[in-house]
Amino acid sequence: MTTIELTPETLKGQLDAGRLLLDFYAPWCSACKTLDKVIDSAAGELPEDLVIGKVDVDQFPLLAAEYGVTNLPRLLLFQNGKLVAESGGFVSAGKLKEFVKR
C-alpha cells in the first residue's frame, strides 16, 4: 500500500494505474484526521496493490466538486479507472478493510 498526495494533474495517471482509494479531506476536518489514523493502523492489512490518493479539498475545490464531494471525509474506490464503491464520513478499520475488498 502506498499513500500519495494528488493534484488534478496527477490524478489521471493514478486512476489508470490499477486500484486507487481516493481520500478527499481537509486539514481542519477532525473526522479526516481520525480516518488517517485508521488507515495508518490498517495499512499492513490492506492490499499491497492499493494506492491511497489524498486530495485536499481546500487546495483543489474544483476537483472535489467534479467528484461530487459534499461531505468529509469522502472515499472513492477505483479499479482500472472505474468507480466501484464510495463512502461518506468516518469508517472504522474493519469497515475500511471490507470497503477496499470490492
The answer to whether residue 37 is catalytic is no
Among 21, 22, 29, 55, the one annotated catalytic: 29
Among 15, 21, 22, 32, the one annotated catalytic: 32
**Category of 83 on φ-ψ map: left (φ > 0), alpha (ψ -120 to 50) or beta:** beta
Q: How many CB atoms lie within 10 A of CB 18?
A: 14
The answer to whether residue 61 is catalytic is no
- Report the catalytic residues: 29, 32
